[in-house]
Structure 1
Amino acid sequence: MKKYLFFYIITSLFLFANTTSPPKSKGLKADLVTVVKSQRKMYLSCKGKILKKYDIALGGNPVGHKRVRGDQKTPEGKYKLDYFKPNSSFYKALHISYPNRKDHQHARKLGKSPGGSIMIHGQPNNREIKKSFFQRYNDWTAGCIALENDEMDEVLHLVNVGTPIHIKP
């Protein structure tokens, strides 16, 4: 009787082991990244369905669209994630295609540079810098979008270079 009961339990575990959790989608990639600055949220979506949601930090002066270098604003509008930067001052980064032609024109009218090097990135690589100014829920970047390092790894797994990013107020 004990052998039969043991066999039944083991067989049941084996037969139903794969039915307890949903299968993971392999190769599923986001086709859009959306940032809602006022919510401090970033969403990865595919075909209109949200895959992941992240809490983010923005530029130190986040309200309004980035106009010129040094204004500490995170841009607003439609851009692309145009290249991956594995080596930077921050843990991995995806470059945002700011400034576009309209951004250049506006800054030129003001006689200034529009700035650039706006990215989605992880935490500062320099531990002393990280200790001195980083706080998870405060806006601390120079205009970028910041995540935790493990979240940045996840984003890089789900987002390809060339993916559109919409940054909303």
Structure 2
Amino acid sequence: MDRTVMRIFRIVLILVAALGLAACSSKFKTYDGPAVTQLQVYKGARELFLMHDNTVLKSYKIELGNQPVGPKRFEGDGRTPEGLYYINRRNPNSAYHLSIGISYPNVHDVQVAKAAGLPPGGDIFIHGEDPRRGRTSQDWTAGCIAVSDKDIEDIYAMVRDGTPIFIMP
């Protein structure tokens, strides 16, 4: 009987340890520092800055749409938008680890696409890596802003919905 009790105790101990380790590896982090008041993206430099007023809190290397030069004009053009947008949603179950949505298209974007007789597109996000490709250091998205999975975990925790994002050439 003692051996059975010891075996059960060991199994329970192993399960508790495994669950504890799994909890430590969660992709959902917490952040209690200064509020991110805006995001700034510089497409040419491939950098994203999380700002608190005029202070840079964090900076990240980014990858862009597979046609990185110029603003997004219509669905399927492979470009990343340029202009003022807002973080407007989040996806904890993203195919790209985690993602936060950008409010593209704005009124101007809709007008530009409509004038060309084309749909403006949508579903522009800041997201993690493509699990099939990993981090490539080359522009590969359909117009989104990609960062490493580790970086999107920080960004996801730090940035709130409604935060302005300025995307510059």
Partner of 2:165: helix, strand, or coil? strand
Match of 2:59 in 1: 53
Instruction: Answer yes or no: is 1:105 the counterpart of 2:81.
Output: no
Q: Which residue of 2 aligns with 1:162?
A: 162
Structure 1 consecutive aligned stretches of length 4 or more whose deviation exceeds 3 Å: none
For the residues of structure 1 that align with 2:32 and 2:102, how far apart are their CA atoms?
26
Output one character per residue of 1:87-146: Cα deviation in whole Å (capped at 9) or x when no partner. Answer: 22211110000001111111111110011100000012xx4x22xxx5431001110000
**Residues 11-35 of structure 1: per-residue CA shift (max 9 Å, x gap):** xxxxxxxxxxxxxx93422100000
Structure 2 matches for 1:58-77, cutoff 5 A? Answer: 58-77=64-83
User: C-alpha displacement at 1:78, in angstroms?
Assistant: 0.2
Paired with 2:161 and 2:140, the residues of 1 have a C-alpha distance of 25
Identity %: 41
3-state SS of 1:38 partner: coil
Larger radius of gyration: 1
Unaligned 5+ segments in structure 2 are 1-30
Letter in 2 for 1:165: I
1:40 aligns with 2:32: no
Letter in 1 for 2:138: N
Q: Does 1:86 align with 2:95?
A: no
Q: Is 2:44 the partner of 1:29?
A: no
Quote the Cα distance in structure 2 between the aligned partners of 1:67 and 1:88. 25
SS of the residue aligned with 1:54? strand
Q: Aligned equivalents of 1:141 and 1:28: distance in 2?
A: 30
Distance 1:26 1:92 in 2: 19
Q: Look up the match of 1:138.
A: 138
Q: Structure 1: 5+ residue runs without aligned partners?
A: 1-24
Letter in 1 for 2:156: L
CA contact (8 A) 2:129 2:135 kept: no
Match of 1:148 in 2: 148
